[in-house]
Amino acid sequence: MTAFKQRVFSGVQPSGNLTLGNYLGAIRNWVSLQDSHETIFCVVDLHAITTWQEPDTLRDATREVAAGMIASGIDPKKSIIFNQSQVSAHAELAWIFNCVARMGWLNRMTQFKEKAGKHKERASVGLYVYPDLMAADILAYQATHVPVGADQKQHLELTRDIAQKFNSDYGVDFFPEVEPLIFGEATRVMSLRDGTAKMSKSDPSENSRINLTDDRDLIAKKIRKARTDSEPLPASLDDLEDRAEAKNLINIFAALSDQKADKVCAEYEGKGFADFKRDLAELSVEVLGPITEEMSRLMSEKTYLDGILREGAENADKLASPILKQVHDIVGFLRP
Ligand code: TYM
């Protein structure tokens, strides 16, 4: 087996506002990897258009995601930050992977089923092959580690299957076995209105999520309005198995305060939600307030953001181009 250089890659779609879920499940964890690893973070605009995006909104959302990453602590001097469509290797490798992945594999993808819903026949073909593009994002850099929220686990398993089949079909040891990094106390942040549904940028209810564009008052208001139950809090997280909303808020508290969820439970044991929500609102504002403010400041510096994305894309391209050339040779594409 080839020893691959450790390299981290991850991405976020510019298809709506960044949420607390994106922050706690992914971006925050990326920040912690910057000092120990080579890190590449991508605004995946090619993925975003698998569902309809207004062109002007997409441009703004792309800058907004970049601003959100930087405001959260991703440092453009330490990490490569860029938008996917600027580096053609992603789309080119995705095509090759469309020919490696099997229909049966894609038919199993739960995210496609959820997103396409009852209207599968009307979903874009792009939405169906979305996971192949995701595999291309990662493998165009021969990245070894991918920090994501729990909802992306199945896609990363598919990435491993594609890498393995490519290696075995062509008799090479070219793509690494990608390792998902799913860590922290909030790997799956749930909706504030329904503890059984994922917090998502596409939920029609604004009160279901905290956006990184919300100001301090709105953040506090959404936490105060979050759905809960009438029971007092128990001593440990295990006792919250049937109380999805309560469990979610405890996990959010734990992640925001860098503590174990059990410790948070123990601290609030026997108390009702009034006290707990007041403290959670305060904590959320304290942690997220500076990020949302910095993000909105950065949004007024379009030239700066565009410069970061341009330079990031140049650096990303330098890494991906030679890898793609080797793929062409392996596959048998003639380069006379
Ligand atoms: P996206 O844009 O839906 O979400 C970006 C990241 O945020 C995480 N996340 C959450 N984590 C916890 N709780 C939540 N409620 C929550 N909502 C979102 C996601 O797990 C993800 O890590 N397909 C990816 C983007 C992508 C990608 C990649 C990721 C494209 N190419 C290559 C990794 C590597 C997506 O749609 O993420």
Expressed in angstroms and rounded, the spacing between residue 10 Cα and the centre of ligand 1 is 8
Give burial (CB, 10 Å; 0-12/13-18/19+) of 265. buried
pLDDT of residue 334: 96
pLDDT of residue 1: 66
Tell whether ligand 1 has an atom less than 6 A from the beta carbon of residue 64. no
Active site residue 221: no
Question: Taking CA 125 as the corner, what is the angle to CA 178 and CA 141, rounded to the nearest 5 degrees?
Answer: 25
pLDDT of residue 154: 98
The answer for residues whose C-beta is within 8 angstroms of residue 222's C-beta and 6 or more apart is: 192, 207, 209, 210, 214
Closest Cα to atom 34 of ligand 1: 10
Token pair, residue 330, equals 């392996």
Expressed in angstroms and rounded, the spacing between residue 333 Cα and the centre of ligand 1 is 33
**Cβ(13)–Cβ(46) below 8 Å:** no
pLDDT of residue 81: 98
pLDDT in tens, the chain (336 residues): 678 899 999 999 999 889 999 999 999 999 999 999 999 999 999 999 999 999 999 999 999 999 999 999 999 999 999 999 999 999 999 999 999 999 999 999 999 999 998 889 999 999 999 999 999 999 999 999 999 999 999 999 999 999 999 999 999 999 999 999 999 999 999 999 999 999 999 899 999 999 999 999 999 999 999 999 989 999 998 999 999 999 999 999 999 999 999 999 999 999 989 999 999 999 999 999 999 999 999 999 999 999 999 999 999 999 999 999 999 999 999 999
Active site residue 201: yes
Length of the chain: 336
Residue among 9, 42, 46, 148 whose CB has most ligand 1 atoms within 8 A, to mutate:
148
Domains and CATH numbers, the chain: 7-182+302-331 (3.40.50.620), 206-297 (1.10.240.10)
Expressed in angstroms and rounded, the spacing between residue 161 Cα and the centre of ligand 1 is 19
Active site residue 115: yes
Radius of gyration of the chain (CA): 21
Tell whether ligand 1 has an atom less than 6 A from the beta carbon of residue 219. no
pLDDT of residue 202: 87
Indicate which residue of 78, 153, 165, 201 is catalytic. 201
Angstrom distances, CA of residue 66 to CA of 18, 24, 94, 236, 324: 10, 16, 23, 38, 25
Expressed in angstroms and rounded, the spacing between residue 217 Cα and the centre of ligand 1 is 27
Tell whether ligand 1 has an atom less than 6 A from the beta carbon of residue 212. no
Expressed in angstroms and rounded, the spacing between residue 149 Cα and the centre of ligand 1 is 6
Tell whether ligand 1 has an atom less than 6 A from the beta carbon of residue 17. no
Which residue type does 127 have?
L
The answer for residues whose C-beta is within 8 angstroms of residue 53's C-beta and 6 or more apart is: 14, 15, 61
pLDDT of residue 16: 85
Closest approach atom of ligand 1 to CA 134: 31
